[in-house]
Amino acid sequence: MNKQTTLIAFYTIVRKEISRFMRIWVQTLLPPAISMTLYFVIFGSLIGSRIGTMNGFSYIEYIAPGIIMMSIINNSYANVVSSFFGAKFQNHIEEMLVAPIPNFIILAGFITGGVARGILVGIVVTIVALFFTELNIHSFPITIAVVFMTSIVFSLAGLINAIYAKKFDDISIIPTFVLTPLIYLGGVFYSIDMLPETWQTVSSFNPILYMVNAFRYGMLGESDIDITNAFLMLVIFTTVLFTIALHLLNKGVGIKH
Amino acid sequence: MSALEIKNLNKTYPNKFVALKNVDLQVNSGDFFALLGPNGAGKSTTIGIICGLVNKSSGSVSIFGHDIDKENEAAKACIGIVPQEINFSQFETPLDIVVNQGGYYGIKRSTALQRAKKYLNKLGLIEKCHEPARNLSGGMKRRLMIARALVHEPKMLILDEPTAGVDVELRRSMWDFLIDINKQGVTIMLTTHYLEEAEKLCKNIAIIDQGSIIKNTSMKKLLSNLNKETFIIDLINPIETLPNLNGYTATLIDSSTMEVEVDREKNINDLFEIFSASNIKVCSMRNKSNRLEKLFLDLLDNNN
């Protein structure tokens, strides 16, 4: 395939991925809007008003970036894991496998779909957040970069999960037992400065802590961790997961006999 | 030129099942080729390897001179595949399915749209092109997969049991469509369990059994191996005993039906002359079984 035909193939996968999650918007875009509204009502307005300030910000202002990042992480992951596993389960992944598409284009197409949903849901949740609090952007480039890189990392993770998944249970185990605890313990609702020193050290092994704090830094200019470390972490995760995912596709793991 | 050249192809699945053993196969450009074999013989594995859905264990496969290991993309671009199982998203429309497939082959959306409409129309699906694919009948789903396989206008079309579960009328219209495509220069390779289909459509044939090719020849040559045919003859007036049929072996199934074996070198007119002389009036006559079917079963028996 030449450059133009490769781009057409890439564009086709992205278009298909976006139209898939837009077609089922009631399952993909509406639930995060509703659940995040509840987070803002309960933790932000009701409980938050009694908590007072956190690191100089009102509680609702402090948790807003974390809640937006939580929805981006969940939706990037969910989009790719369900779409790729669905394609495997219904065998229509074969439509791509028989075509002369390089594997990195298949990978890039699915990841772009995941990033698109993650960002769209992020925008929806940001709009919801604006009904409850004011949002300021401390640094646009950092905010945008963190959003993109985080959604790429979790889209890649979702794809690897889908490659190994053999049944529907396998695509819910990681989000339920790994992703959710890491998100909740990743400083979405609190500053790790509040934790005893041991738990601060334990938390430093949680990659989501870096992503949430980097995003919070982009919006509020406030972070529990060094922003450089966060970007370093994101670059390493993106590179490692991309390499693994491409290797698995090249080998045909889970998709070829 | 060879459309497909398979040399020494082997496949052993991770569960140690040996699906293919040193398969050699050649399909010429413009051919209408049948790959026949019982269930589990290795037909779908062979097709899967050709199309890139199954990893081979060893051997080589070239499609129009492009080795699938060295020029994978060029090889894939030459083939259109119609698989045995339905493998499209049931939630998409036929038009989207075919247009997207064009996109995967790098065809511009406007061109893919034009071609999709052309093939969906030819295959009688144009009125359903905006409905979700799950609403299509079984036969329509099979035709949709043919339209999808043709959108990039491949040099070779591979069909894995394309008419399985399709009614007789539709099957015949699909045959006409495939004959037409073949006349336009597209090489066709098909697997089927309907041996009448292979006999009617294909010029060359390979029979695979237990992972090995046991016969690879032209249909004409294969059928010429048949040295006798058995006919069922229905009589207008019932008879109690068989007359002397002068060397033809016959049995009376019931008073109005007889079964006659006719050697290839014998003239069938002689048989009718004997009938006339014996005042036996024939109402109808038909082959006991499909000619290819008999050969196919004999070959499998010999192989076992």
Overall number of domains in chain B: 2
B85: left (phi over 0), alpha (psi -120 to 50) or beta: beta
Buried b (16+ CB within 10 A) or exposed e, A211-246: bbbbbbbbbbebbbbebeebbebbeebbeebbeebb
Q: Is B155 on the interface with A (CB under 8 A)?
A: no
Of B41 and A1, the structure prediction assigns the larger pLDDT to B41
Look at B86 and A91 and tell me if their CB atoms are within 8 Å: yes
Final residue of a structural domain among B224, B242, B271: B224
Residue B206 binned pLDDT confidence (cut-offs 50, 70, 90): very high
Overall number of domains in chain A: 1
Q: Give the ipTM.
A: 0.89
- Count of alpha carbons within 13 Å of A69, Cβ hemisphere only? 34
List the domain range (segments joined by +) for residue B129: 2-224
Look at A257 and B53 and tell me if their CB atoms are within 8 Å: yes
d(CA A118, CA A211): 14
Asked whether residue B298 is domain-assigned, the answer is no
Are B166 and B64 members of one domain? yes
Our CA angle for A108, A111, A116, nearest 5°, is 120
B146-168, pLDDT tens digit by residue? 999 999 999 999 999 888 877 88
Which helix (H) or strand (E) segment holds residue A54: the answer is strand A53-54
Look at A257 and B54 and tell me if their CB atoms are within 8 Å: yes
A171-228, pLDDT tens digit by residue? 999 999 999 999 988 888 888 888 888 888 888 889 999 999 999 999 999 888 899 9
Look at B55 and A96 and tell me if their CB atoms are within 8 Å: no
pLDDT over threshold 90, residue A47: no
DSSP one-letter string for B169-224: HHHHHHHHHHHHHHHTT-EEEEE-S-HHHHHHH-SEEEEEETTEEEEEEEHHHHHH
CA distance A118 to chain B (A): 22
Of B76, B91, B97, the CB nearest to A98: B76
| Mean pLDDT value across residues A90-113 | 96
> Would you call B23 exposed, middle or buried from its count of C-beta atoms within 10 A (0-12, 13-18, 19+)?
buried
d(CA B91, CA A199): 47
| Mean pLDDT value across residues A40-61 | 84
Q: Please report residues of A whose CB lies closer than 8 A to that of B74.
A: 100
Q: Is B93 on the interface with A (CB under 8 A)?
A: no
Asked whether residue B296 is domain-assigned, the answer is no
Q: Are strands B32-36 and B187-191 parallel, antiparallel or unpaired?
A: parallel
Look at B55 and A256 and tell me if their CB atoms are within 8 Å: yes
Tally of helices (H runs) and strands (E runs) in chain A: 13, 2
Asked whether residue B303 is domain-assigned, the answer is no
Percentage of chain B exceeding pLDDT 70: 97
Residue B290 binned pLDDT confidence (cut-offs 50, 70, 90): low
Are B170 and B259 members of one domain? no
Asked whether residue A256 is domain-assigned, the answer is no
pTM: 0.86
Are B94 and B32 members of one domain? yes
B12-39, pLDDT tens digit by residue? 999 999 999 999 999 999 999 999 988 8
* A1 close to A101: Cβ distance less than 8 angstroms: yes
Question: Measuring CA to CA, how many Å separate B283 from each of A74, B233, B238, B275?
Answer: 75, 8, 11, 12
Are B232 and B194 members of one domain? no
d(CA A252, CA B55): 8
**Average pLDDT over chain B, rounded to an integer:** 89
Are B45 and B120 members of one domain? yes
d(CA A80, CA A155): 6
Give the pLDDT of residue B289: 65
Final residue of a structural domain among B202, B224, B246: B224
B138-147, pLDDT tens digit by residue? 889 999 999 9
Are B97 and B157 members of one domain? yes
CATH of the domain at B15: 3.40.50.300
Give the pLDDT of residue B269: 86
Which helix (H) or strand (E) segment holds residue A20: the answer is helix A3-23
Q: A-B interface: how many C-beta pairs under 8 angstroms?
A: 88
Asked whether residue B196 is domain-assigned, the answer is yes
> Taking the mean position of all CA atoms in its chain, how far away is CA B249?
33
Are B149 and B237 members of one domain? no
* B212 close to B41: Cβ distance less than 8 angstroms: no
Strand order in the sheet with B66-67: B18-28, B2-12, B58-63, B66-67
Final residue of a structural domain among B204, B224, B244: B224
- CA terminus-to-terminus distance, chain B: 34
pLDDT over threshold 90, residue B81: yes
Of A99 and B245, the structure prediction assigns the larger pLDDT to A99
pLDDT over threshold 90, residue B288: no
**Average pLDDT over chain A, rounded to an integer:** 92
* B148 close to B98: Cβ distance less than 8 angstroms: yes
* B215 close to B205: Cβ distance less than 8 angstroms: yes
